[in-house]
Amino acid sequence: MRIQRYSGLVGLAGVLFFVGLTRVDAQAPPGSDAWLPAGDEEDAAARGLKSIYVPDGLTSEQAVEQVMRTSPNVQRTRTLLLDAKGGALQAMSGLVPRLELSGRATKLSPVQTAGITGGDSGQIDDLVNMVQDPAAQQLWRGLTSFQFPSLTAQYATNASLIYSFTGSLAEALPAYRAAKKNKKAAEQQIEAELNNVAFDARQAYYEFARAKAGVGVAESAVDAAESQRKETAAMVSAGAAARVDLMRVEAQLEAANVALARAKLGFQVSQRALQALMHTDVVPTLGEDLSEPVTDIPSETEEELKERAFRDRPDLRALYTYIEATRHQLKSANGGRVPDLLVRGSAQYSNPNLRVVPQQERFEGTWEVSAVIRWAPNDTIEAHGRSKQFQAELQRAYADVISLGDAIRVEVAQGYHGVLAANAAMKSARLGLNAAEEGYRVKREQLQAGIVNTTDLLQAQTDLIRAQVDVVDSAVGLRVAKAQLLRAVGMRP
């Protein structure tokens, strides 16, 4: 999320070109004391930045922790880890023998069954009558009249254990390895998303700080403009100034009020943006002292930072891990093109058991073991199609690595030179504020001595406002540049 900068306050000095920050008799305007010389060792920039600090207020670290804890983007990225775990579980099931248990009740259609003997029944009876032994004759008559039963219902339970060498070794094993890599890639993506969210949080926090300081400067300018209006009105009444001077000051007072309204708008927007990221309705206060020095900035050269980024960036490492996972998926797809070799064992307990002859209406148990080799052209074509898809995924991943590498080079350069520029801006802003304060003091004394006119003093006051805004911008800019550099090299901003 990019937070829009409301930089209208940077041009506040131009709006207040003719507005006085103090009365002509050298009295400071209300609210501007923090920016004026205090006679101690602390420079004006530090005093001014401390003036917007609220003890026990919200710090940037607290804001980052809250945003990372509640960010929906992080929560959404965490689902990738769940996907990877599910894929690993599915692939693992293919590595072990497949156990199938079933039970069924079947209604069978009646069929015409045969007996033990066949042929002409008359001839069979004649042969039986030729037997002299009555007992034997009776036995043969029973055998010739016997019919096998026709059972019309079957109840069976079956247990089968199947192990596919091709499916386990050529397909499931590479798929399991791919799932493990996907799990690692998901963890790296979560880390990368946390870095992005932390950067967004810090950027939003410091934009809030910038806007807060801007409102303070604008309010000080309005108070000063009102003081100048009263002073000019008194001079007009005394005949020491023309009526047009008062009209000019009144117009600039209205301009200052407009600038204050815009500054408050920017503050409200930045405050709402920070609250939205933190998912809270609590109004934040600035609990970080911007006058404190910024520490823990990476001190390596630009080339060393690039090497560090290419080694440590979690999004780049996630992409390389994803490529490894896709290669395993490609092996799994290619394994589906070969014939399937499997062994199978099963046991059946059924009534009637069809392997028992003649059929009997009772439960019987049987078993079987077999080795099978099978091949289906449709499966080969399907596996070839999946192989083509994974090849395309690999090509896209390779292109993504190049694109991300180019982006990392740019981000590292932006962060590195951004820190250098921000440090220079901070030093320049502090010197500029000290110079503006001294210039304002000299012009004020010269005005009292009658050497310069009011316009010269107003110009010095305008320079002082611009210097105040520059100090705030440089303090915020250095912290944002540090966060940008940390994210660029793969560290938590």
Q: How distant, in Å, are the alpha carbons of 2, 75, 489 from that of 190?
A: 20, 9, 16
Average pLDDT rounded to a whole number, residues 110-131: 66
Query: Among positive and negative, which fits the CA dihedral 393, 394, 398, 401?
Result: positive
- pLDDT score, position 116: 61
**Which range has the top average pLDDT, 110-124, 173-187, 434-448?**
173-187
Average pLDDT rounded to a whole number, residues 307-333: 96
Average pLDDT rounded to a whole number, residues 93-119: 82
- pLDDT score, position 145: 63
**Which range has the top average pLDDT, 140-154, 352-366, 437-451?**
352-366
Mean residue pLDDT of the chain comes to 83
- pLDDT score, position 13: 37
| pLDDT grade for 39, boundaries at 50, 70 and 90 | very low
Q: How distant, in Å, are the alpha carbons of 20, 30, 36, 115 from that of 220?
A: 10, 6, 12, 117
Q: In what order do the strands lie in the sheet with 340-351?
A: 98-107, 153-164, 340-351, 364-374
Cβ neighbours of residue 291 closer than 8 Å, sequence gap 6 or more? 45, 46, 47, 49, 50, 53, 475
Whole-number percent of the chain with pLDDT over 90: 53
Cβ neighbours of residue 376 closer than 8 Å, sequence gap 6 or more? none
Give residue limits of the domains in the chain: 7-96+188-303+418-480
Kindly write down the DSSP assignment for every residue of 400-429, as one continuous string: HHHHHHHHHHHHHHHHHHHHHHHHHHHHHH
Q: Check whether 186 has a pLDDT greater than 80.
A: yes
| pLDDT grade for 316, boundaries at 50, 70 and 90 | very high
Q: Check whether 479 has a pLDDT greater than 60.
A: yes
Q: Check whether 12 has a pLDDT greater than 60.
A: no
Q: Check whether 476 has a pLDDT greater than 60.
A: yes
Average pLDDT rounded to a whole number, residues 379-392: 94
Compute the half-sphere exposure of residue 5: CA atoms within 13 Å on the CB side of its CA.
11
Q: Check whether 185 has a pLDDT greater than 70.
A: yes
pLDDT tens-digit series, residues 225-276 = 787 788 778 878 888 777 887 887 788 889 889 989 999 999 999 999 999 9
Average pLDDT rounded to a whole number, residues 169-180: 94
Q: Which CATH superfamily is domain 7-96+188-303+418-480 in?
A: Outer membrane efflux proteins (OEP) (1.20.1600.10)
Cβ neighbours of residue 465 closer than 8 Å, sequence gap 6 or more? 12, 13, 16, 21, 217, 221
- pLDDT score, position 123: 66
> Regarding predicted confidence, which is higher, 111 or 4?
111
pLDDT tens-digit series, residues 66-80 = 999 999 999 999 999
> Regarding predicted confidence, which is higher, 147 or 165?
165
Q: Check whether 451 has a pLDDT greater than 90.
A: no
